[in-house]
Structure 1
Amino acid sequence: MTTTPTGLPPLSDDTVDRIEEAVFAQIAEERDTERAHTALTRRRARRRGWLTAGGVAAAFAVGVLVTPAILNATGAASSGSSAASAPYDTTPRPQSLSGVAKDMAPSSGGAASSAGGSAPSTNEARDVIRTGSATVQVDDVRKAADALAALAKKHGGFVESQQIGSAQGPVATDGGIVPPPSGDGWVTLRVPVADLDAVMDALREQGTVLATSIGTNDVTTATTDLRAQIDSLTASVTRLTQLMSQATSVSDLLTAETALTDRQSQLQSAQQQLKDLESQVAMSSVQVTLVREAPAAADPAGFGDGLAAGWKGLIVSLNALVIALGFLLPWLALALVVALIVWAIVRTRRARRTRRAIAGSMQAAETEPEPEPQKP
């Protein structure tokens, strides 16, 4: 029986045990609830972390995949808008030239693309390069080359290049300079495009025409682009010259001068390209290959010719035999060495066998008992 303070009803041991069990059960329940809440909080925090990491990774992937396309589209739109706008402004500007001279004129590629956008109509005259080539068989290559030079001069053209005979050129000797021997060669003519067909027809007068061909190449787009570039660069040079006269500082002057030098270089290059194309359009190139007629081979018609042909055949056969013998000689020497080695090995083995047989027979003879004498 447990003693209780004065004024409180006495409690039995069973009651105290029940109270303790209830208190301990409540404490255990509160601990379980707290543990479950802590675990749930941790799971939620972990889930938030994974979701955050996944969102960051997805955003990064989207940025990597989408950003270049957006930048390209933005750049194309900005370049298109800048190309559509007027590239030059003739109004004098007193402000600084820093950054202005650089962007003052479009590049040659931009001019080409803008010019290429408007293709010439079919009614306009087109720039077409016509070229011809032929292979002519002649008796004398040098005379034929001189005749071709006269033909080109007759039609208002000239000889662009030629090669006759040996490619090494004239040879200096004691008797003076000797031209290379006459042989096959080629001649390149430049004639007006209107006379190309007449020149090709006139080649039949120089010898036997073995093959001919005429090619065309339409360069209208290229010449149109170059003319647009030249106009654009000319305006750019003019504008930069004005800006140099308005420069207020040394840095502005140097910037404009650098840009002007670059534009002038591009302008000269475009002008030279256009000049080359226009020259090819105006003057056709004709490549003529000259070959000599092959001499007729003499057939053996008598005993002497047959004997000479047989002697030549014998010499050729002997030469072939000597070459074959020289080719096989190292292999024959190697085969001889191998045969000697094999013969020596076989001979050594046979000698060993013979010695063993003789030794065995002698040993058998020694161990065999002598026969007893027969009694009479």
Structure 2
Amino acid sequence: MRKLAVLCLGLTFLTTALVGCGSDESVSDGTSLSSPTPAVAPPGLREQAPSPADGKGQGNEVSTRKEVVTGSVDITAHDPIAAAATVADRVRAAGGRIDSRTEQPDTEDNDPAATLTVRVPGDKTDAFIDGLGGVGEVTRVSTNREDVTMQWEDLDAKIKALQASVDRLRALIASATNTADLIAAENALSSRQGELDSLTAQKRRLDDQVALSSLTIDITATETETEGSGPDNFWDGLVSGWNSLVDWLQDAIVFAGKAIPWLGFLAVLGVLGWGIARAVRWRGTSTRSHGSVPVAGPAKSESAAAVETATSEESGKSSGTKESGE
């Protein structure tokens, strides 16, 4: 048992000695097995990685949505013209503007109506539409929200890149030493400046669409009660009958005024037709009379010859009788 215990102690001491040697070698090489050094990221990747503060700012910028809101609202009111004036006042109070306004007053043929195209701040659009219920009865509401965040960011990135390129070209023009470099730089600057102005105009228009929603508001008159119910008493019936008579007379006068030109035109056509028919009839009669002259001429001559013969014979007989009497 003692030999076994001594053997175990010897093995333990040998193991400790070996471990101590390995630790000394690690220390002498300048490395530590128990505390490894962290891996160092490449310089390029480290520059691209955002800091926590930067990451927070970028997250807020990306999360900001750019929306273009358009819509239409239909309203019925007793006085559409007055309702349109109220809507215009509310648009100005909300910080918006009126792009177009059309009003149709009440006439005999048309009911009053009004149409407005307004621009309202995007963050106040919903509240503005909800407030239109106080102007009249809102019968229909339609809105559309188009997300243009990617389009806006793309334009913004292109504008920044072109602006940097324009700045570099201007610096090259300022430091150009020969005419060829100066002309090349000016040509490139002109092209880049044109693209920059175009993109800036697009972004400005997009910002205006995002900032102000576009709404079309149609205001019509409230439908009155049907006039199918007749008068309730004698006086109302008399008035209604008189109004009907006046309306009928007015319609008859208008119809007569429209018919007189047609009657004159038809009369002219009738006179022309009668003249043509008379001319044709006269021509036919003249033709028949001219055709009977050759036939009647000889018959009249033969009768005359017979009469003359008979007259001569009677004359001869008369002369013979006188002679015999003598």
TM-score tier, shorter chain, comes to 0.5 to 0.7
SS of aligned partner of 1:302: helix
**Paired residue for 1:190, among 108, 119, 122?**
119
1:159 matched to 2:94? The reply is no
Shift of 1:309: 1.8
Shift of 1:265: 3.3
Deviation track 1:305-360 (CA, whole Å, cap 9, x = no partner) reads 31232133123223313322312422431342232122122123213313433541
Deviation track 1:99-153 (CA, whole Å, cap 9, x = no partner) reads xxxxxxxxxxxxxxxxxxxxxxxx9665331112112222344543454345446
Shift of 1:249: 1.8
- Look up the match of 1:270: 199
CA contact (8 A) 1:134 1:211 kept: yes
1:213 partner amino acid: S
* 1:256/1:354 CA distance change after superposition, 3 Å: same
- Look up the match of 2:148: 219
CA contact (8 A) 1:159 1:187 kept: no
SS of aligned partner of 2:128: helix
CA contact (8 A) 2:99 2:119 kept: no
1:148 matched to 2:87? The reply is yes
1:280 partner amino acid: Q
SS of aligned partner of 2:69: strand
- Look up the match of 2:277: 342
SS of aligned partner of 2:217: strand
Deviation track 1:209-250 (CA, whole Å, cap 9, x = no partner) reads 233221233434532432232133123112212322331123
* 1:342/1:242 CA distance change after superposition, 3 Å: same
Deviation track 1:224-279 (CA, whole Å, cap 9, x = no partner) reads 43223213312311221232233112343243234324322321331221122123
Deviation track 1:265-301 (CA, whole Å, cap 9, x = no partner) reads 3213312211221231233222222334466797773
- Look up the match of 2:181: 252
User: 1:204 & 1:308 partners in 2: Cα distance?
Assistant: 39
1:283 matched to 2:212? The reply is yes
1:240 matched to 2:169? The reply is yes
SS of aligned partner of 2:278: helix
Count how many residue pairs are aligned between Structure 1 and Structure 2.
236
1:144 partner amino acid: A
1:160 partner amino acid: I
1:208 matched to 2:147? The reply is no
User: 1:208 & 1:271 partners in 2: Cα distance?
Assistant: 42
What does 1:1-376 correspond to in 2, within 5 Å?
A: 126-141=65-80, 143-149=82-88, 151-152=90-91, 156-163=94-101, 165=103, 184-293=113-222, 301-357=236-292, 359-367=294-302, 370=306
User: 2:306 & 2:297 partners in 1: Cα distance?
Assistant: 15
Structure 2: any 5+ residue segments left out of the alignment?
1-61, 106-111, 311-326
1:158 partner amino acid: G
SS of aligned partner of 2:75: strand
User: 2:145 & 2:219 partners in 1: Cα distance?
Assistant: 23
* Structure 1 length-normalised TM: 0.52
User: 1:221 & 1:339 partners in 2: Cα distance?
Assistant: 84
User: 2:280 & 2:185 partners in 1: Cα distance?
Assistant: 96
SS of aligned partner of 2:208: helix
CA contact (8 A) 1:133 1:286 kept: yes
* 1:260/1:163 CA distance change after superposition, 3 Å: same
* 1:159/1:144 CA distance change after superposition, 3 Å: farther
User: 1:346 & 1:216 partners in 2: Cα distance?
Assistant: 84
RMSD: 3.5
User: 2:128 & 2:82 partners in 1: Cα distance?
Assistant: 17
Structure 1: any 5+ residue segments left out of the alignment?
1-122, 168-182
CA contact (8 A) 1:162 1:185 kept: no
2:77 partner amino acid: V
- Look up the match of 1:171: none
User: 2:100 & 2:79 partners in 1: Cα distance?
Assistant: 15
SS of aligned partner of 1:187: strand
* Structure 2 length-normalised TM: 0.59
- Look up the match of 1:27: none
1:332 partner amino acid: A
Larger radius of gyration: 2
